[in-house]
Amino acid sequence: MTIAETKRNSSCLKIFLACALLSSPLFSSFASAACTHEYGQATYDDIREKFAGDEASGGSTYAKGARANGLHIYIDPTVEEIEETAKVSVHEYIHLLQQGYLNKELTEYSAPVGGEPIADTSIGNGARFQSINLCGVAEATVAAHLASLNAMPDAIKLFDHPTFVIFYSQTPGEGTGSCDASQTETFARTAFNIIYGENCPGMESTPMVWEANENHVFAEGEAEYWATNKYTGSYTSFDGPTYWTDKLADAKNYCNLPGNSNFYINSGSSQDVDEMKDKMQAAGVSPACSNNAIGELVYAYFIQLCLETDAGALNDDGMCNHESLRRVWKYAPTYGFDCAFFNQYGWTWGELVAKMYVEYQVDTSEVATNVPSLCLYDQTCSGEPKPCNRLPSYTKNEAENFCQLPIDAACGSSSSSSSSLSSSSSSPTKMYSFANVVISAVIAASVTFYFAFFLN
């Protein structure tokens, strides 16, 4: 998209809003939302909180089945590093890809030349990347964000629907929203309807567990690494690789590495990371040792290990390129993240983590099989989400024997899973021997389900 098109799009949105405000019948239709199901409401509430400045951080809102998706970008009007802020849009877009795979909406690793064609070009201006700028963010900033997204390789333009970047203005230096507070509801409803449609066609009605099968530290590390080191085609004044290197140095300081004996990321899940942060902060570690910082440290070590194994690991055909990680996300909801990871890289998750503990002087005696695996959730079962089954860690030999097999998680409890295995050979749910071994041996972890699905 050209800058001219960007401006035109933004102008259209402003006109659209003005019409909404000037015409009371139309305004009423915005106020009484037709999309009232649980998922639609949760999505709307997220946008409204963003406009209200209640949660003033960048993010993405993935809504399965929806006709489009949204990114949330806060802009301090005094910021001069526009391209550095544009990097955030690329980061957040990578989170959309992760969720697309984890929810089995995306099935291809790589899009064709030109990107996956947009199925319905009547949404907004029909472009793949569009803007919603209701709070008067500078047009140059809007243009830079759309340019950064458009400059990404076609291979990762995998969605057949548009992605809207919602711009929120920010109180200079304070990080809180500064859009007109009296307009919060109107802005939120306008943005929601532009993206999802008033009746949110296609959007699933029940929120999924966004963290299901998501290795949270890898998700954060991946998004920042690729946004700063590789998807930099539109950056001219922003040096992404140097930014990444500097950020890692800061992260080590924040997280007291090397030598922080509480830096146990365990499975890499959001829950495990939160528990680790609680312990670290109780021990005096800075809150700046955030999910993002932790994810970047873990992913940086992964990249280091890849390059020690294969100097060309990050090349287009290298073992640790971005496409290989997209394959991991694709198979994670079926095989479980850890098997998907092992199948792609040949290391168990535990091996990677134990080596990282040595590198960062967290623990030099940890063994790979002590590192817990992620939960395997089944999102294909109807009704309420099922409790997570945390899989036991396996040795490399076990992984070699079992991870090659497809696994479809069973609905229901581990006991009902076990009972269904006797007929596994003819079962339409393809229960294989590894599932028998693993699921019958589950640790019945008690898990809090978060009906939020917004990554920062």
The footprint of Zn ion (CB under 5 A) covers 220, 223
Please identify, using beta-carbon distances, which residue of 332 and 421 lies nearer to Zn ion: 332
Q: Of 29, 50, 39, which Cα lies nearest the Cα of 193? A: 29
How many Å apart are CA 313 and CA 321, to the nearest integer? Answer: 6
What is the spatial distance between Cα 350 and Cα 216, in angstroms, rounded to a whole number?
A: 15
Nearer to Zn ion, 296 or 408 (CB): 296
In the structure encoding, which two tokens stand for residue 22, read together?
């000037």
- Taking CB atoms, the residue at the shortest distance from Zn ion is 223
Comparing CB distances to Zn ion, the nearer of 90 and 368 is: 90
Is the bond into 162 cis (omega within 30 degrees of 0)? no
Residue among 91 and 128 whose Cβ is closer to Zn ion: 91
Q: Measured from the CB atom, is 83 or 220 closer to Zn ion?
A: 220
Q: How far is the CB of 294 from Zn ion (least distance, A)?
A: 11
- What's the longest Cα–Cα distance across the chain? 69
Please state the length of the chain: 456
**In this complex, which beta carbon is closest to Zn ion, that of residue 223 or of residue 328?**
223
Q: Judge whether 186 and 44 are in contact, CB under 8 Å.
A: no
Give one word for 197, left, alpha or beta, with left for phi > 0 and alpha for psi -120 to 50: left
Whole-number minimum distance, CB 413 to Zn ion, in Å?
33
Sheet holding 129-133, edge to edge: 129-133, 163-169, 69-75, 59-61, 454-455
Tokens of 394: 């396996």
Write the CB contacts of 109 (distance below 8 Å, at least 6 apart in sequence): 323, 326, 327, 330
Q: How far is the CB of 33 from Zn ion (least distance, A)?
A: 28
What is the nearest approach in angstroms of Zn ion to the Cβ of residue 59? Answer: 8
Rg (CA), the chain: 22
| Least CB distance to Zn ion at residue 329 (A) | 14
CB of 270 to Zn ion, least distance (A): 12
Distance of CA 167 to the CA centre of its chain: 19
Q: With CA atoms as reference, report the closest residue to 364 among 217, 294, 261, 275.
A: 261
Q: How many CB atoms lie within 10 A of CB 422?
A: 10
Q: Under DSSP, is residue 71 helix (H, G, I), strand (E, B) or coil?
A: strand
Bridge pairing between strands 59-61 and 163-169: unpaired
For residue 295, the minimal CB distance to Zn ion (Å) is 8
Of the pair 225, 394, the CB lying nearest Zn ion is at 225
Q: Judged by CB, which is closer to Zn ion: 197, or 221? A: 221
What's the rounded Cα separation, in Å, for the pair 70 and 63? 9
- Which single residue is written with the structure tokens 């964000």? 145
Q: How far is the CB of 250 from Zn ion (least distance, A)?
A: 16
What is the C-alpha end-to-end distance of the chain, expressed in Å? 26
Q: Give the residue with the Cβ less far from Zn ion, 58 or 372.
A: 58
- Kindly state the smallest distance separating residue 456's Cβ from Zn ion, in Å: 5
DSSP 113: T
Nearest distance in Å: CB 231, Zn ion = 14
Which CB atom, from 220 or from 378, has the smaller least distance to Zn ion? 220
CB closer to Zn ion out of 223 and 294:
223
Q: State the nearest-atom distance from the C-beta of 220 to Zn ion, in Å.
A: 5
Would you call the peptide bond into 258 cis, given omega within 30 degrees of 0 as the criterion? yes
| Helix pair angle (82-102, 240-254), 10° resolution | 80
Work out how close the CB of 274 gets to Zn ion at its nearest, in angstroms, rounded to a whole number. Answer: 15
CA–CA separation, 14 and 39 (whole Å): 27
- Quick one: 189 or 326, whose CB is closer to Zn ion? 326
Read off the tokens for 362. 């967290």
